[in-house]
Amino acid sequence: MKQHGTLILGLSMLLITSCGDGGGGGGGGGGYDACAMIPACQNGGSCQVFDDGGSARCDCPAGFEGDSCEINISDCRPNPCENQGQCIDGVQAYTCDCKSGFEGDNCEVNTDDCAAAPCQNGGTCVDAVAAFTCRCAAGFSGELCETAVDECENNPCRNGGTCVDGDGGYTCECRGDFVGTNCEICDGDLAVVDAESLAAAEACEEVSGDVTIDGTELVVLDGLRNLKRVGGSLVIARNAQLRDLNALIILREVAGDFVVADNDLLSDLNGLGTLREVGGSLSFEGNVVVTSLQGLAAVRSVGGDLVIDATSLSDLTGFFVLGTVGGDFVIGTADRGNEALESLAGLGALREVGGLRIHGNGALGSLAGARSLESISGDLSVGGNAVLPTCEVDALIERVGPDDIGGEVTIEDTDDDAVCE
Ligand SMILES: [Ca+2]
Ligand SMILES: [Ca+2]
């Protein structure tokens, strides 16, 4: 610690006599001694007699005050020591007794506890007060980053893959037809034909190729419960006993086409609640017991055609967030059509379609459900909808705007006499 001085200037006074240190001592010549009449000066103060000879006072050295210079002027007010350091008063000076972790004349310096580079293996030292912490590089742990982490400890490799530990990571050496960071991807196509092949599919979080479930006797698809993504197409067709798609509850994306067709006992699509993207076409055809598209609530876009044909649906409720259809939106075909479809209710978020084809829907009486549609880049083709008022089609064209229909407009077999609201 170092001392800091503070210069204090004494008052100058009119003086003629100095009695020397100690004051109150003997005066001169047996006469009156004014210094004897005041208390002795302390701390090096000297008695000074005023020029009238009748009175005296103490002249204090710098750093002291008071009638007898008995007061050491505090150099600690206000406290010059920072960070809760304790101030020790001196004579025109002070020293600071610093709290642990601080240094400097005024305890203003937070001691660098990282100076000795205590963190190992590339860890970064973070200084604190009388302490430090280490931020470890990937692959290391411990107070000083002294421990190498075994990234393979919890064996992240699926399906019999072998884990190889590295600095800050791991790699999996996969067996057989598995690929991916954790061997979670089944490479190639997957054909589910029976309970055995369905059970084997449980190993797949993703299938890089096509998944085909066609013509089986399966009732449920529980072996697909880990499936998150299909890199190719997903076809679920002609499964006469299939009741639901609940096993597909974490399926998020089908990069190719997704076809659900002619599953005669399939009653709902609720298992598709996390499906967001279909890269190719999405087709629901001939699943005659399905009466609602509830379950498609997360589908935002369909890259190819969206085909709804030969179903028992009365409306299209379920597509709550579907905004774009890259290809044609086919609502019924001339060959089949949706016999029970009465309205397009449920398309409230749909903005853009490639083309729009509405054919063979014998009960369809209104197109008002497509009210948010802003653009049809291809053809608009309406035909064979016997009870559909022609004015409903005119109103749709009006809403989209004739300039926002890129292709040909064909309207056949609508009801010219029916009245629109
Ligand atoms: Ca002092
Ligand atoms: Ca420190």
CATH code of the domain covering residue 124: 2.10.25.10
Task: Please check the confidence at residue 212 and state whether its pLDDT lies above 80.
Answer: yes
Query: Percentage of the chain surpassing pLDDT 70?
Result: 93
CA–centroid distance, residue 35 to ligand 1 (Å): 26
**Residue 22 belongs to some domain of the structure:** yes
Model confidence, pTM: 0.68
Contact predicate 252/226, CB 8 Å: no
Average pLDDT for 53-81: 95
Please indicate whether residue 24 or residue 239 has the higher confidence score (pLDDT): 239
Q: Which of 225, 245, 243 is nearest to 235 (CA)?
A: 245
Band of residue 53 on the pLDDT scale cut at 50, 70, 90? confident
Q: What are phi and psi of 36, to 5 degrees?
A: -75, -15
313 by Cβ neighbours in 10 Å (0-12 / 13-18 / 19+) ranks as: buried
Q: How far is the CA of 126 from the centre of ligand 2 (A)?
A: 9
Residue 233 located in a structural domain? no
Report CA(102)–ligand 2 centroid distance (Å): 7
Domain membership of residue 244 (yes or no) is no
Ligand closest to the CA atom of residue 43: 1
Which structure tokens are listed for 234? Answer: 């997903």
Q: Span 241-259, mean pLDDT?
A: 96
Is residue 397 domain-resident?
A: no
> For residue 138, is it within any domain?
yes
Q: Which ligand is nearest to the CA of 61?
A: 1
User: Can you point out the beta strands (E) in 83-142?
Assistant: 86-89, 94-97, 102-103, 109-110, 124-127, 132-135, 140-141
Please tell me the predicted confidence (pLDDT) of residue 13. Answer: 40
* 35 in any annotated domain: yes
Cα atoms in the Cβ-side hemisphere of radius 13 Å centred on 88: 9
**Where among 149, 172, 205 does a domain terminate?**
149
Domain that holds residue 26: 17-72
pLDDT digits (tens, 9 = 90+) for 266-306: 988 989 999 999 999 999 999 999 988 988 999 999 999 99
| Ligand having the closest approach to the CA of 90 | 1
Q: How far is the CA of 64 from the centre of ligand 1 (A)?
A: 7
pLDDT band (50, 70, 90) for residue 390: very high
Residue 347 lies in a domain: no
Q: If residue 258 lies in a helix (H) or strand (E), which one and from where to where?
A: strand 258-261
- Å from CA of 88 to ligand 2 middle: 23
How many structural domains comprise the chain?
Answer: 2
Q: Of 126, 149, 172, which residue constitutes the final position of a domain?
A: 149
The predicted model gives 166-191 an average pLDDT of: 93
**Tokens 């003997």 sit at which residue?**
26
Q: Which residues contact 386 (CB under 8 A, 6 or more apart)?
A: 362, 413, 415
* 93: alpha, beta or left? (left if phi > 0; alpha if psi -120 to 50): beta
User: Residue 318: left (phi > 0), alpha (psi -120 to 50), or beta?
Assistant: left
Whole-number Å distance between alpha carbons of 245 and 295: 10
Residue 206 lies in a domain: no
The values of phi and psi at residue 204, to 5°, are -100, 115
Q: 41 with 69: CB under 8 angstroms?
A: yes
Say what the pLDDT of residue 419 is.
81
